[in-house]
Amino acid sequence: MAQDYIFTSESVSEGHPDKMADQISDAVLDAILKQDKGARVACETLVKTGLVIIAGEISTSAYVDLEALVRKTVTDIGYDRSAVGFDGETCAVLNGIGKQSPDIAGGVDRKTAEEQGAGDQGLMFGYANNETDVLMPAPVTYAHRLVEQQSKVRRDGTLSWLRPDAKSQVTLRYQNGKPVGIDALVLSTQHDPDVSLADLREAVMEHILKPVLPADWLDNCPKDKIHINPTGIFVIGGPVGDCGLTGRKIIVDTYGGMARHGGGAFSGKDPSKVDRSAAYAGRYVAKNIVAAGLADKCEIQVSYAIGVAEPTSISIETFGTGKIDDRRIEDIVKDIFDLRPYGIVTMLDLIRPIYQQTAAYGHFGRELPDFTWEKTDRADALRQAAGLA
């Protein structure tokens, strides 16, 4: 990529219908993992006007009142009355969940946990760069923080007329490969019908944009390129405005398009599914490589065969920023990180009910206590192995 360019990423709030679906799927996963750490879960969700459908394959000894769980999740998001277009207390909940295929289970399960095979074939990517304090691309980081701020001021009553559905889009200008300013902004938020567009735009600027974005960047962005509710009224939103599905915001979930994506979604999948666990491990590896100073940016690809423990490939790309050869970094990674399914689950302590909190505002770049893949505790070992300590 050229050193001077613009780049755009987007995010959506917890009340966006696709994110509702992700959160419901992960709420189901968490509820099951609380009771059964050996469960196999693949839960998909669809939300539309007055309706939630959950389906998939689950093998577990746990008992969960799925209807009550779905209703609580929807209500907690903010869809708690018909006036906002969707009510978790009265919506229909349909359950189409079955059991995991014994053919798949036979390929994954082994006599010892260490021999556990991958739950499917596939390729996964992890990425990090040093554009932000959390070693994430700046456009998606700011996009997430904007919709997080929308949720905060909605929930704490600062802007009580906001509703749960919102979207952000951030276009940044880069010079010499580093972000230097905002080229364009979009913030669209659902709202009550009695707020004027002028009042909404002023409030969004003061309470959402200004607290999140660097002041000089915002001041220097052309006013005609700051789009707040550009279509005007946004009263009808959530599942009434659009059908929501699990796994339809995979770029929002990861790196905002700045890194590649293997295609597999995360939400609703237990850690035996490498779509999720290996993508988390990829982020962990890449972030530690950048934190160690081995590169300014790093992308790792790993791939797996169903039923096979060892990855079928591991490759590293540092885009010309590596302090040592990329092939040497690959060898070091293989020595320091166990990227077998069991190794990943153990290394990152993934068999815990931690997943619903990942399902909105990004799986990466949020340094929360449960997000073990965001730790940089292998950076010293990487530096020493690379001879940079």
Residue of 119 and 359 predicted with greater confidence: 359
Q: Are 9 and 257 within 8 A, CB to CB?
A: yes
- Do 126 and 143 belong to one domain? no
Phi, psi of 93 (to 5 degrees): -125, 115
pLDDT of residue 105: 58
Q: Is 249 known to sit in a ligand binding site?
A: yes
CA–centroid distance for 191 within its chain: 25
The 10s digit of each residue's pLDDT in 268-298 is 999 999 999 999 999 999 999 999 999 999 9
Phi-psi region of 140 (alpha: psi -120 to 50; beta: other; left: phi over 0): alpha
- Do 280 and 381 belong to one domain? yes
115: tokens are 């021999």
**Mean pLDDT value of segment 85-91:** 93
pLDDT bin (cut points 50, 70, 90) of residue 83 is: confident
- Do 126 and 151 belong to one domain? no
Domain that holds residue 179: 5-11+137-236
Q: Is residue 197 situated within a structural domain?
A: yes
**Mean pLDDT value of segment 68-96:** 95
Q: Is 296 known to sit in a ligand binding site?
A: no
pLDDT bin (cut points 50, 70, 90) of residue 106 is: low
Please tell me the pTM assigned to this model.
0.96
pLDDT of residue 17: 98
- Do 290 and 217 belong to one domain? no
Q: Is 317 known to sit in a ligand binding site?
A: no
108 has a pLDDT exceeding 80: no
Q: Is 166 known to sit in a ligand binding site?
A: yes
348 has a pLDDT exceeding 90: yes
Q: Is residue 190 situated within a structural domain?
A: yes
- Do 222 and 320 belong to one domain? no
Q: Is 375 known to sit in a ligand binding site?
A: no
Q: Is 269 known to sit in a ligand binding site?
A: yes
Give the end of a domain, one of 236, 262, 286: 236
pLDDT of residue 1: 58
**Mean pLDDT value of segment 47-72:** 96
What string of H, E and C letters represents the secondary structure of the chain? CCCCEEEEEEEECCCCHHHHHHHHHHHHHHHHHHHCCCCEEEEEEEEECCEEEEEEEEECCCCCCHHHHHHHHHHHHCCEEHHHCEECCCCEEEEEEECCCHHHHHHHCCCCHHHCCECCCEEEEEEEECCCCCCCCHHHHHHHHHHHHHHHHHHCCCCCCEEEEEEEEEEEEEECCEEEEEEEEEEEEEECCCCCHHHHHHHHHHHHHHHHCCHHHHHHCCHHHEEECCCCCCCCCHHHHCCEECCCCHHHHCCCCCCCCCCCCCCCECCCCHHHHHHHHHHHHHHHHHHCCCCCEEEEEEEECECCCCCCEEEEECCCCCCCCHHHHHHHHHHHCCCCHHHHHHHHCCCCCCCHHHCCCCCCCCCCCCCHHHCCCCHHHHHHHHCCC
Q: Is residue 185 situated within a structural domain?
A: yes
The 10s digit of each residue's pLDDT in 117-169 is 998 899 999 999 999 999 999 999 999 999 999 999 999 999 999 999 999 99
241 has a pLDDT exceeding 90: no
- Do 126 and 145 belong to one domain? no
**Mean pLDDT value of segment 317-332:** 98
Q: Is 148 known to sit in a ligand binding site?
A: no
Q: Is 111 known to sit in a ligand binding site?
A: no
Q: Is residue 153 situated within a structural domain?
A: yes
pLDDT of residue 104: 53
Q: Is residue 116 situated within a structural domain?
A: no
Q: Is 273 known to sit in a ligand binding site?
A: yes
Q: Is 16 known to sit in a ligand binding site?
A: yes
Distance CA 39, CA 195 (A): 47
Which residues have C-beta within 8 Å of that of residue 128, sequence separation ≥ 6?
135, 136, 283, 286, 287, 289, 290, 291, 297, 298
Beta strands 162-175 and 178-191, pairing class: antiparallel
Domain tally for the chain?
2
Q: Is 360 known to sit in a ligand binding site?
A: no
Distance CA 303, CA 100 (A): 22
Q: Is residue 281 situated within a structural domain?
A: yes
Q: Is 165 known to sit in a ligand binding site?
A: yes
Amino acid at 274: V
Give the end of a domain, one of 209, 236, 263: 236
Q: Is residue 277 situated within a structural domain?
A: yes
